[in-house]
Structure 1
Amino acid sequence: MNGPPPRRTRTYALTENRAARAHGHAAQPLTMQSLICTADRPGALVGAVPQEWQTVLAWCCGTGIAVAEIAARLQLRLTPTLALLRAMHAHGLITSQTSLDADGNVAILLRVRNCLARTQ
């Protein structure tokens, strides 16, 4: 027997209790399509942040990664993922770039969802 699986860090701890205040955030809005990249100078702060933050920073190196992809890899819902990323942004660890079409193309998203539903 290997024992119980390791426990995941609670979302409350990951987001520094920012989930409740996420909607009133004055910074650049994040959407599920936003591209997240590491900041130019995360440097010395990287070793002092939680392991989950370090994992996200590793994913964001180079060309960056979409918020939706981060949520999927962390197996979190979108709202706590956004709170996590806002906390990381507040610490100067990441930058974000929103798409040109902030509203998104709903018709394309619905077609993708419908095709995925048919294949399952």
Structure 2
Amino acid sequence: MSGERGTRRTRTFALTAAMADGQRPEGITMHSTVRTVADPKSARHIPEEWQRILALCTGSGLAVAEVSARIGMRLTPTVDLLRELVAHGLVEHSAPLTEADASNIEFLRRLRRGLERG
């Protein structure tokens, strides 16, 4: 069925099949940076939602919170989806920032600018 906006959206559980087997990567938080390691153009066989994330996270990557905002998905399902992409070797994530880095005003400004663009 189509939603109010007239578009179909795949349910998150359908995009995260590997989560049921208990082999999910840990350590991804809203402060983690996610970067694409697979070529988005060669990954045409994967779901559109995955392709969109791969395209967003090319280059230096994005914070998980920024990915969530740009794809219009709540944070928890976004983290689960990113864990699935890590498990498939399509993206990698860096450890969350230290407390000192997370309070770095320049980093926070860059994050805000990124969210405003999205």
Across the aligned residues of Structure 1 and Structure 2, the Cα RMSD in angstroms comes to: 3.1
Which residue type is aligned with residue 12 of structure 2?
T
Say if 1:42 and 1:92, in contact at 8 Å, map to a contact too: no
User: What's the TM-score, normalizing by structure 1?
Assistant: 0.68
When the two structures are aligned, how many residues end up with a matched partner?
100
Which residue of structure 2 lines up, in the alignment, with residue 93 of structure 1? 90
Instruction: Detail structure 1 runs of 4+ shifted over 6 Å in the superposition.
Output: none
Q: SS state of the match for residue 8, structure 2?
A: coil
Unaligned residue ranges in structure 1 (runs of 5+): 109-120
- CA 1:30–1:49 in structure 2 vs 1: closer, same or farther (change >3 Å)? same
- Within 2, Cα distance between the matches of 1:16 and 1:103? 36
**Largest Rg, 1 or 2:** 1
Q: Quote how far apart the aligned CAs of 1:14 are.
A: 1.9
Superposed, which structure 2 residues align to 1:39-118 within 5 Å? 39=37, 41-42=38-39, 46-101=43-98
Q: SS state of the match for residue 44, structure 2?
A: helix
User: What's the TM-score, normalizing by structure 2?
Assistant: 0.69
Once the two structures are aligned, what percentage of the paired residues are identical?
Answer: 42
Q: SS state of the match for residue 17, structure 2?
A: coil
Which residue of structure 1 lines up, in the alignment, with residue 13 of structure 2? 12
